[in-house]
Structure 1
Amino acid sequence: MSSTGPPPEYTSFGCTLCGTRLSFRVKYVGKKTKCPDCGRVNVIPPPEVKRAVPKPLAMEGEQFELWGVDEAPLPAEQIAKQPTLIPVSCRLCYTLMYAREAHLGKQAKCPDCGTKTLIKRPAAEPTSGPVGVPDGQEYQLDPTSAPTPRPVPKPVAVRQAEIREAERRAYEEKEGGTSDSDAPRKKKRKKKRAALREQPVKFPLVQRVPAMLLTAPILIRWFVLSVFLVVVSSFGSFGAGDAASKFHAVAMVCFFVISCILGILWLAAASAVWLAILTESADGHDELHNPPSTDFVEWIGEAMYFLISAVASAVPAALIGKAMTQLAESLSPSVADLGPVLAGTGWLLAFPVAILSSLEQGSPMAVFSPKIGKSLLTCLPTWLLYYAETMLLIGAAAAGSVWLIGRHPLLGMAAAPVLFAATLLYFRLLGRLAWQLSELTSIEIEGAE
């Protein structure tokens, strides 16, 4: 079918070699031309005849159109205008067919298998809906199966605070009951402590001092922590000294870091044992009624009492060392040799005051208590006896450790259990001192919260 438009004036084609598009007038059809790009000679073909586009079959017959604005009927009206179709299933192959109401009672031939099936109206489906229940026969809910109210979520910090408060109240009830006022509570606790004590002793700093240290809870903790201290000391000795090679230097640094980490863990665990011995001895007990907790976080809090008190006690020791250095410059250089000894003695004199003050006031930052300071004057003989015993203890432990280390390097490992046992006895004496001070004055030593 040719186009009905005017004939074309130009013909276009592509070069048969390079594909360059060339255009010429119709009068040059059949002549030869040379491609300007590649030089190939081509024959000019006639122009292509454009054929008319055939009309799609869908455009013939009844056409669908779009509804105008607000002209479309409602969906219910459109459904109502549709013819009613009756579903019919082939009685042989069950092919689903549809027929109109005018075909009721006639035979419908299946398009798949050719079997004829009678067209009939399908049975009415029962209406769906709730089934009524006679009065008095309704379902009854069990009151016991009613859901409980959902618990209100609490932050972890609030929950831990409640648990510790409950533990503190239980401990206070065990020690002597609780009361709204502070004075009656302390009086009841004092009576309860007196009931839990062994037979009263006249000299707490002398009589039955090792009794608590020989009990099973203390011996087990002494053995475990002594072995732990030997391990820490071994790692520390490996990390000290001169490096023979680069590999040795790297290994020394690793051992030193491991010894520091294990040392911090050991100090936290030992602080819990020291504090338990001190507070139980201050209550007049010869055994642990409230052993240390297994919570590492609580160990860190208890260790702060000893660390802060030790640092605060170093202040007078540093002043004594500086004074001895100035005296050595003005008097004699030999006086400077006494500086470390006097500084260590000053630290040993100040540490008991600092740790008892912090426990008496219930805060590790309160390193001085007026009541403890006053007891240095009112209970001077008791303090002097305590200082004499602790000086002898520390001197004996130091001398024994030096002797063991000097005999053989392997015997030096035995110095760790000896020194740790000396610290347990030291805090046992400190607790007995606090007990005697509480009997002579109004000082009350509380456990770390």
Structure 2
Amino acid sequence: MTVLTADVGRKTECPDCGHIFEIKKAEIKLEIPEEILPEDEYGLKDVSHDHDEARRKMGQNIMSQAEKEIKEQAERKDLNKKTQGAFEERRPRERELQIEGDEHEPKPRESLTPEDYQPRDELVDFPLSFTPKELARDVMLFSDVGLLMRWVFLSIFAAVTLYFAVNAIYYGSLESQTIVTYLSTFMYTVLSVVLGAGTLAFLGSYFLFLVMTVSTGLEEWEWPEIGIFDRVMEALFMIVALSLTMVPFGIMITIDKSMAWPCLFIPGVAFPLVYLGMLDQGTVLSPWSNTIMVSLFQIPVKWLMFFGATLGLLVVCCLVGYGMFAMAGIERLAYIALPGGVLVVGYFLAYAIWLGRLSWEISELHAEYKEEDAESKTSSPA
């Protein structure tokens, strides 16, 4: 219901309910803002009487923060009195301390690294020794979960590779060749090469990891998860070392097969020298290392122990493999392929651990010579 301004003071009847009432004049209330003090132009100094709780809390917080900053600025010292001008004469730091009344002499800067810190103290020793204690440690190294998982993984692929490779050799050596034997030889050769390349890449990477880890003296192993390209680059050390040391055998087998088999002793002797030499130089392009060659004459007993142990283990693995093949034959090759893969991978892993121990001996010998040279230089007069 709406009324006019002229009807104010009159009585009227509601058309809906019939109630008679007097029309009164509406009162308009104007809110007069509080007077703002000149020193508090934002109205934040006294907000205790504000009806809006949020605005009151915000004002109190702002005022308390402002008062705190003013107090800190008042207590802050005048820095201009201590700051030296750009054109004033420079004074030594000791003189400034004396002028300021500091009686304490400046202390020399302490080294971040203690003088008696020895990085190798946190490492463990891996000497090349075949005592019961060290052999038990080798067994404990082989019980590492990461190593066992990789051993099983590589053994499966090595077994399949051996199966294809032996079949390729068998079908290729048959006297009566047919289209079936040709295709079988080609298929088995391709599969053995492809799977063998992948197996060799992972085996070479794990081989390098074991040699470097044992040589460094790390007791806890952290197996790195790297890409296939990095694994191939790590495996190049073993591939190049094997290729270089197998050159005499490859040349002799094309001339006289009966004279080629004795040449297999050359890789057994030259492979650790070439492999450690490349690791010492840090590149596969330089297989020669004076440190490794000199160690042959410095620790000949360790080298002879290494050659004897690796050769003995190789003979045992070959005899076991030949015995299984003689009993099973080519017809049951699938049954002996997996044990053969386990033997091959296990031999390379054991070889890597012993080669790492030999490398540890060489590094310890090299460190001793460095310490002796440093002591002789310090003791000699300048």
Q: Shorter-chain TM-score: which interval? A: 0.5 to 0.7
Match of 1:232 in 2: 161
In structure 1, the gaps of 5 or more residues are 1-184, 326-335, 444-449
Instruction: State how many pairs are aligned.
Output: 242
Structure showing greater relative contact order (alpha-carbon pairs closer than 8 Å, 6 or more residues apart): 2
Provide the rounded CA distance (Å) in 2 between the counterparts of 1:433 and 1:218. 20
**CA pair 405-358 structure 1, distance change in 2 beyond 3 A:** same
Equivalent runs, 1:59-208 vs 2, <5 Å: 191-197=118-124, 200=125, 203-204=128-129, 206=131, 207=134, 208=137
Amino acid at match of 2:165: G
264, 273, 289: which one pairs with 1:369? 289
Match of 2:212 in 1: 279
How far did residue 196 of structure 1 move?
A: 3.4
Equivalent runs, 1:3-82 vs 2, <5 Å: none
Match of 2:340 in 1: 415
For 2:246, what is the secondary structure of its paired residue?
helix
Match of 2:358 in 1: 433
Match of 1:268 in 2: 201
Quick one: percent identity of the two aligned structures?
21
326, 330, 345: which one pairs with 2:265? 345
**CA pair 258-396 structure 1, distance change in 2 beyond 3 A:** same
How far did residue 318 of structure 1 move?
A: 7.0
**CA pair 359-348 structure 1, distance change in 2 beyond 3 A:** same
314, 329, 344: which one pairs with 1:394? 314
Provide the rounded CA distance (Å) in 1 between the counterparts of 2:346 and 2:181. 34
CA contact (8 A) 2:128 2:358 kept: no
**CA pair 271-202 structure 1, distance change in 2 beyond 3 A:** closer
Amino acid at match of 2:149: I
Tell whether 2:243 aligns with 1:311: yes
The answer to which structure has the higher strand fraction is 1
**CA pair 272-260 structure 1, distance change in 2 beyond 3 A:** same
How far did residue 252 of structure 1 move?
A: 3.6
Provide the rounded CA distance (Å) in 2 between the counterparts of 1:342 and 1:253. 30
Amino acid at match of 2:206: V
For 2:217, what is the secondary structure of its paired residue?
coil
How far did residue 275 of structure 1 move?
A: 0.7
How far did residue 357 of structure 1 move?
A: 0.4
How far did residue 292 of structure 1 move?
A: 4.0
Amino acid at match of 2:210: I
Describe the superposition over 1:91-143 as per-residue Cα deviations: whole angstroms up to 9, x where unpaired.
xxxxxxxxxxxxxxxxxxxxxxxxxxxxxxxxxxxxxxxxxxxxxxxxxxxxx
CA contact (8 A) 1:212 1:286 kept: no
CA contact (8 A) 2:204 2:239 kept: no
Provide the rounded CA distance (Å) in 2 between the counterparts of 1:438 and 1:292. 23
Amino acid at match of 1:195: E
How far did residue 204 of structure 1 move?
A: 4.4
Amino acid at match of 2:262: L
For 1:293, what is the secondary structure of its paired residue?
coil
CA contact (8 A) 1:268 1:303 kept: yes
Amino acid at match of 1:373: M
Provide the rounded CA distance (Å) in 1 between the counterparts of 2:130 and 2:358. 6
**CA pair 215-244 structure 1, distance change in 2 beyond 3 A:** same
How far did residue 390 of structure 1 move?
A: 1.0
Match of 1:96 in 2: none
161, 182, 185: which one pairs with 1:249? 182
Match of 1:138 in 2: none
**CA pair 400-223 structure 1, distance change in 2 beyond 3 A:** same
CA contact (8 A) 2:241 2:271 kept: yes
CA contact (8 A) 2:249 2:263 kept: yes
Match of 2:301 in 1: 381
Provide the rounded CA distance (Å) in 2 between the counterparts of 1:306 and 1:226. 18
CA contact (8 A) 1:215 1:287 kept: no
| Alignment TM-score, normalising by the size of structure 1 | 0.49
For 1:441, what is the secondary structure of its paired residue?
helix
Tell whether 2:145 aligns with 1:212: no
**CA pair 212-287 structure 1, distance change in 2 beyond 3 A:** farther
CA contact (8 A) 2:213 2:221 kept: yes
How far did residue 287 of structure 1 move?
A: 4.4
Amino acid at match of 2:183: V
Tell whether 2:331 aligns with 1:424: no
For 1:299, what is the secondary structure of its paired residue?
helix
Provide the rounded CA distance (Å) in 2 between the counterparts of 1:201 and 1:254. 45
Match of 2:72 in 1: none
Describe the superposition over 1:218-246 as per-residue Cα deviations: whole angstroms up to 9, x where unpaired.
10000011011112222334434148753
Describe the superposition over 1:234-263 as per-residue Cα deviations: whole angstroms up to 9, x where unpaired.
233443414875355334423321221111
How far did residue 340 of structure 1 move?
A: 4.1
For 2:139, what is the secondary structure of its paired residue?
coil
Coordinate RMSD, CA, aligned: 3.2
The answer to which structure has the higher helix fraction is 2
How far did residue 400 of structure 1 move?
A: 1.1
Provide the rounded CA distance (Å) in 1 between the counterparts of 2:354 and 2:127. 15
